[in-house]
Structure 1
Amino acid sequence: MRLLQDTAHAKINLFLHVTGRRSDGYHLLDSLAVFAGVGDQVSMQAPAEEMSLVITGHFGKGLDCNADNLVLRAANLLKDATKSTGAWNFKLEKNLPVASGIGGGSADAACALRLLATEWKSDPSILYSVAEKLGADVPVCIAQKATRMQGIGEVLHTVPQLPDIGMLLINPGVGVSTPAIFKSFATLGGIRSRQEITFPEKWETASSLFSTLRETGNDLQAPAILHAPIIQDVLNAIALQQGCEISRMSGSGATCFGLFSTPAEAESAQQSLSAQAANLGWWTWAGPLHQSP
């Protein structure tokens, strides 16, 4: 019996600009994606008669374990693409809120691909080709390192090492529809002309990173608030915390984040909000970024 496991870290969009739209309807984006020190746990065990999946964890209730799940789709697509043999029993422990703007499903699929690629010694080009077929957020979740995403998410650029900042995540427990958010984005004025953000060769300090981020935003934040006004309440609660430098929504929502100069400051803010979060049923996490070598 063999057991392999890895963490599917939460993907956070520190900024997200909608820069265009393709003829097929897909929106073009410019975003700085980072990964938090919290995530789902993915494990796989062999031997198995066929690819299978069991889902556990606080946010696992009601999720389908059939072949349409991204983890199994990823496994079967990579198996076919590499003409590999063998099957695995997958277990997914869902610690992250679902459909919440932090790439949970995409990160889970990418985690399964990483584990299988290591086992099968898959060519990286095949790995990323399969990832692109699974969704726009899956390729960036393969390496789980700070990356600038462009195109529809498939154009990836390395970025300078980020300082050891702290992050607070809050999800208010409401779901938002990504297609509906983009529709409202168009209603509110849609794509606007802006100068492309340039990054320095290195962010020497947390303050220098925050300075760059203050020139950016999340174009989907305002339309998301129209659909779920509680997002604004979360953003306000984060912004009021001592040491908070940036308060913003990730992806198409509804998870919001606060950035702090140190993980300790973020953890202190989480503690300060603990009673309010418990009363309102908000999910929270605080700590450092996950920084892959």
Structure 2
Amino acid sequence: MRISEPAPAKLNLALQVRGKMPDGRHALETVFAFCTDGDRVEGELADDVTLEVVGPFADGLSGDNLVLTAANALREAARVGQGASLRLIKNLPVASGIGGGSADAAAALRLLTRLWEIDPGHATAVAPALGADVPACLLSLSARGEGAGDKLALIDDPGIANTPVLLVNPLQQLSTGAVFARWDGIDRGPLGDWRAGRNNLEAPARSLVPAIGDILDWLVAQPGAIFTRMSGSGATCFALFADEPARDAAATACPGQWWHLATILR
């Protein structure tokens, strides 16, 4: 029997880079939120672990996909003798700051936990080694992240849940490593309320992809937009809207050279 699992798009409502940790990773403070839409992972039992990638952004992925890495790591950790035939439906742009690869890996962990009927603790255990955002994507719930973003505390904020949101991307891939390499190294203090926060990676991301600035300016100008920001290391930007009609009007007006997704925060 084939089952499926959503891989919701991840947004950073705020992202503060504080410095570097002893292991070389950057120390962050962030607020994660997740959309109701994104990629999707399907799977059924098989003798070995295999992956097929389909969808509008399938061509942007290499064969060495994080979904396969996650599946094999979980299989080994839980000592599972079965495999799985997996299919990733890639609806989100690649290398776009909305957690696509991490969300896909997390969805695979949740799906395989169900398919193989194993303890969910195995997925929780293997998630951190797969990437800093994978633990948050495994939860796919609004949370505050510290450390490398993998030390999580769930939050219940009425300003997040069920809020209409429009995601816009210039269809230019942006390397996370390249953006962090251009961070100015200045610790601007702890992250308070996400509404008053910032994304410290916006400036270096804009220096690499100037279209980010164009998108942010466009989003700010849309009627009904109440909050705009770049997500993660870019290049996807987003706006929260007062209501769905305002969001939908902005989606209709979005310039054709940009990818966009009208959705809702979980």
Q: Which whole-Å CA distance do the structure 1 matches of 2:41 and 2:123 have between them?
A: 18
Assess if the C-alpha contact under 8 Å between 2:132 and 2:148 holds in 1: yes
Assess if the C-alpha contact under 8 Å between 2:36 and 2:263 holds in 1: yes
Q: Which whole-Å CA distance do the structure 2 matches of 1:64 and 1:164 have between them?
A: 34
Paired residue for 1:227? 208
Query: SS at 1:191's partner residue?
Result: coil
Assess if the C-alpha contact under 8 Å between 1:54 and 1:90 holds in 2: yes
Paired residue for 1:147? 143
| Alignment deviations for residues 7-36 of structure 1 (CA, whole Å, 9 cap, x no partner) | 101000010001221122200111111111
Q: How many residues align?
A: 264
Assess if the C-alpha contact under 8 Å between 1:181 and 1:224 holds in 2: yes
* 2:11 is the alignment partner of 1:9: no
* 2:227 is the alignment partner of 1:246: yes
Equivalent of 1:104 in 100, 103, 108? 100
TM superposition shift of 1:167 = 0.5
Q: Which whole-Å CA distance do the structure 1 matches of 2:195 and 2:101 have between them?
A: 29
Query: SS at 1:61's partner residue?
Result: helix
Counterpart amino acid of 1:28?
A: A
Q: Which whole-Å CA distance do the structure 2 matches of 1:239 and 1:286 have between them?
A: 16
Compared CA separation, residues 52 and 251, structure 1 to 2 (3 A): same
Q: Which whole-Å CA distance do the structure 2 matches of 1:219 and 1:140 have between them?
A: 20
Paired residue for 1:35? 34
Compared CA separation, residues 22 and 61, structure 1 to 2 (3 A): same
Give TM-score, length-normalised by structure 2. 0.95
Assess if the C-alpha contact under 8 Å between 1:267 and 1:287 holds in 2: no
Counterpart amino acid of 1:133?
A: A
Q: Which whole-Å CA distance do the structure 2 matches of 1:180 and 1:285 have between them?
A: 25
| Alignment deviations for residues 129-159 of structure 1 (CA, whole Å, 9 cap, x no partner) | 2001100010111121111111112200010
Unaligned runs of 5+ residues in structure 1 are: 198-211
Query: SS at 2:73's partner residue?
Result: helix
Counterpart amino acid of 1:160?
A: D
Once the two structures are overlaid, the 10-residue window that deviates more, 142-151 or 257-266, is 257-266
| Alignment deviations for residues 31-87 of structure 1 (CA, whole Å, 9 cap, x no partner) | 1111112211110022x231101111010015233xx31111111111110111211
TM superposition shift of 1:97 = 0.2
Query: SS at 1:254's partner residue?
Result: coil
TM superposition shift of 1:163 = 4.0
1:63-212 aligned at under 5 Å gives the runs 63-65=61-63, 68-161=64-157, 162-186=160-184, 190-197=185-192, 212=193
Paired-residue identity, %: 42
| Alignment deviations for residues 225-257 of structure 1 (CA, whole Å, 9 cap, x no partner) | 011111100111111100111121000000000
Compared CA separation, residues 52 and 45, structure 1 to 2 (3 A): same
Paired residue for 2:264? 288
Compared CA separation, residues 127 and 165, structure 1 to 2 (3 A): same
Paired residue for 1:201? none
Query: SS at 1:245's partner residue?
Result: strand
Unaligned runs of 5+ residues in structure 2 are: none
Bigger Rg over Cα: 1
Query: SS at 1:145's partner residue?
Result: coil
TM superposition shift of 1:196 = 4.0
Q: Which whole-Å CA distance do the structure 2 matches of 1:143 and 1:180 have between them?
A: 27
Q: Which whole-Å CA distance do the structure 2 matches of 1:129 and 1:20 have between them?
A: 26
Q: Which whole-Å CA distance do the structure 2 matches of 1:99 and 1:53 have between them?
A: 19
TM superposition shift of 1:214 = 3.4
Assess if the C-alpha contact under 8 Å between 1:181 and 1:252 holds in 2: yes
Q: Which whole-Å CA distance do the structure 2 matches of 1:219 and 1:126 have between them?
A: 34
Give TM-score, length-normalised by structure 1. 0.86
TM superposition shift of 1:125 = 3.3
Paired residue for 1:19? 18
TM superposition shift of 1:193 = 3.7
Counterpart amino acid of 1:224?
A: A
Paired residue for 1:60? 58
